[in-house]
Structure 1
Amino acid sequence: MEIINEKKPEVKIVGTLNGHTGCIYAVDRGLYANTIFTGGSDDFIAQWNLDTLQGEKFATSFAAHLYAICHIPEKKLLLAGTTDGNIHIIDTDQKKEIRILKYHRGPVFDIKYCLETNCFYTAGGDGNFAVCSLDSLSLIKVITLCGEKLRSIDFNYHASEIAIAMGSCDIFILDLFTLQLKYGFIAHRLSANIVRYTPGGKFLLSGGRDAHLNIWETGNYSLVKSIAAHNWAIYDIAFSPDGALFATASRDKTVKIWDTKTFGLIKRISKEHLTGHTHSVNKLLWSAFNDYLISVGDDKEVIIRQLIYE
């Protein structure tokens, strides 16, 4: 049973961005602090201005649906992972595609980068985890981790670890530099969909198709708490810029706000309450720009919210 924390901010709807004609599966930071990128089943990436709530002149189309977007501002690159297994690399200065990497045999579900290793990493529907150079933009290594989809990647820089959520219900923890397996454990009764380390790296949060939010202590990855957080699969977790709060997104059409210290529920956002999504919520971005919480979903909408404390 959910226990709602006494700390109850008001949720203000800043705006809803409409322009996509298909489900939206991906969102990331844009070229500037006040912009974001979104992409999905209509096969293109759009950039939005959070000040004007209008689209910017940066639209890139593809031959397949997008599941993952990774903006790398330090390298002036934008990476897009598509359902045909391709990684499209876009030069953000030139605003054009400069390379396509083809090494996955299934959809690309996540892309993350690490400046410490000077690499980017991809999680594929073929069960493969791949490492590529940020300098040469070429493949370094592919590791087959399981026979199911790989869904999510996150880094714990405090312990030099990579967490990977898998459709086999497992989470694997690899060494960031050697890529050796350090821990492997069954994390959910159904597919493990999302992994996120808390700021400071003390805990790993995971969300699964079983609708549970699980909290793991990173010292030995023992289970600290398991919360029946949603009614359907959890697809994403995002921390507020100050790390005090985090949000979860679910196929049950809701976004929930939680306290990072207590893991207590603070707010439930739904269509019936606080103008939520009408369909599955697929991805979140908690922007440092005005502390905007941005959610995207199957209803083709980008919803921007702000938490207000009286």
Structure 2
Amino acid sequence: MYVQKLDTFGGHREGVYALEPAKGAGSFFSAGGDGLIVRWQLSRPDLGDLIARVSASVYALAYDPARNWLWVAQNYQGIHRIDPDLKETQGSLRLTSAAIYALKLYRNQLFVALGDGVVIVVDAGELAVRKHLKASDKSARSIAINPVSGEFAVAYSDHMIRIFDLETLNLKQVLTGHANSVFTVAYSPDGRYLLSGSRDAHLKVWSVTDGYSVKEDIVAHMFSINHIVFSPDGTLFATASMDKSIKIWNAATFKLLKVVDRARHAGHGTSVNRLLWETDQHHLLSASDDRTISVWSVKLSQ
């Protein structure tokens, strides 16, 4: 596998925690501890477009391309629905005095993961709360949706993952096995596997079609795994860690293909918080506590 650093995007004043695709090829949003929401073009790393500014840190973004809505999670406040072209807030919903760790859109529903353990389901069109799901007293950290099985998974700081029904919103199953907070979950594009990453540095692969049995348990990093993302064609996935590295894996065999770090690739000098795989398959973006976003060319050797 061939990996090369192409560009670095700088401008955030604090760590960058959220990356989200924007309208148009090579366009994306970022947000972080400084409360700035910025739109970037891959071709212009020197020119960020400030979309909005909020008064608290932002851990999560969600973009609805069909309606051109950007959802922003403002910690200790709530969510904002923004038109990124007009740079106008079109509605806000005060939800919590806790941190907001994840946003996930599915059809007309927005799933919101809170630091007090609640997952709120919001009607995106009406901007109204549909349901509060309280399955833990510890933080809900990540949400993954599986349209194939009609389920969604929520990772919690109580070391557990809970599986809910997408239609009824009922709790279906509790997955145990991690030894510390679960920070990230991601379903494979074909819906067959759920991947989870934890503060225990383990990457677990759960077989959805086999009752969420553990297929793989890999000591993947030295420190916490912050994020997992699949490539657009589903053949690869990448993990980001507090150990400052990005690792790229074969999604069929779950074997490690490449380590991207500071020593070998001029990688990040602090925790890598978030990843975004561009739709062209060859560009992987990473956001870090070092206040930068890096763009990587990722290609399989010929």
**Alignment TM-score, normalising by the size of structure 2:** 0.96
Choose which of 168, 190, 197 in structure 1 pairs with 2:187.
Answer: 197
Identity fraction in percent: 35
Question: Where does residue 160 of structure 1 map in the other structure?
Answer: 150
Contact 2:21 2:29 in 1 (8 A): yes
Question: Where does residue 91 of structure 2 map in the other structure?
Answer: 99
Flag as ranges the 4+ runs of structure 1 deviating above 6 A: none
Question: Where does residue 30 of structure 2 map in the other structure?
Answer: 38
SS at match of 2:248: strand
SS at match of 1:55: coil
- What is the rounded CA distance, in whole Å, between the counterparts of 2:216 and 2:112 in structure 1? 29
SS at match of 1:303: strand
Contact 2:36 2:50 in 1 (8 A): no
Question: Where does residue 15 of structure 1 map in the other structure?
Answer: 7
CA RMSD of aligned residues (A): 1.2
Name the amino acid aligned to 2:194: L
Question: Where does residue 286 of structure 2 map in the other structure?
Answer: 295
Q: Are positions 1:55 and 2:60 aligned together?
A: no
Give unmatched runs, 5+ long, in structure 1.
1-8
Contact 1:69 1:80 in 2 (8 A): yes
Deviation at 1:93, TM superposition (A): 4.0
- What is the rounded CA distance, in whole Å, between the counterparts of 2:76 and 2:70 in structure 1? 18
Contact 1:104 1:128 in 2 (8 A): no
Deviates more, 1:190-199 or 1:77-86: 77-86
- What is the rounded CA distance, in whole Å, between the counterparts of 2:43 and 2:296 in structure 1? 13
Question: Where does residue 86 of structure 1 map in the other structure?
Answer: 78
Deviation at 1:290, TM superposition (A): 5.7
- What is the rounded CA distance, in whole Å, between the counterparts of 2:3 and 2:41 in structure 1? 21
- What is the rounded CA distance, in whole Å, between the counterparts of 1:295 and 1:178 in structure 2? 35
Question: Where does residue 162 of structure 2 map in the other structure?
Answer: 172
Deviation at 1:38, TM superposition (A): 0.4
Question: Where does residue 133 of structure 2 map in the other structure?
Answer: 143
Deviation at 1:94, TM superposition (A): 2.4
SS at match of 1:216: strand
Contact 2:75 2:97 in 1 (8 A): no
Question: Where does residue 238 of structure 1 map in the other structure?
Answer: 229
Deviation at 1:264, TM superposition (A): 0.2
